Amino acid sequence: MQRLRVRADFLRAARGIRRTTPGITLEACPTPPNHCLDGTLRVGFTASKKIGGAVERNRAKRRLRAAAAAVLPLCGLAGTDYVLVARRDTVTRPFDSLLSDLAEGLRAAHVKLGRAGETR
């Protein structure tokens, strides 16, 4: 897994597929050919000020990173960029529910991308 750090990558993902669950908003798009490495996926995390102050935003991003580390190696597809956007419930939602929200969002995004049958 590689991290998205450039704003243009986040904007491209925002124009792609978006799936919303109670704990996470998932944005996904294919990785551009010039950034695509064999067998890797890219992921970014964001939390706006709607989530709360800096403490809440940082906690939400930590939880998103932990959920991504647990779920994306199993369910993520190489050649895809994912952006996990924190929602108000991200901070307070039980972690097991957060994991299932992410897995559900990934399944729905892969169907929409036309890549549902692919495996890692």
Tens-digit pLDDT profile for residues 80-110: 999 999 999 999 999 999 999 999 999 999 8
Predicted pLDDT of residue 101: 94
Give the percent of the chain with pLDDT over 90: 73
CATH number of 2-110, picked from 3.40.50.300, 3.30.230.10, 1.10.8.640, 3.30.460.10: 3.30.230.10
Predicted pLDDT of residue 115: 63
pLDDT at 21 over 90: yes
pTM over 0.85: yes
11-49 per-residue burial string, b: 16 or more CB within 10 A, e: under 16? ebbeebbbbebebbbbbbbbbeeeeeeeeebbbbbbbee
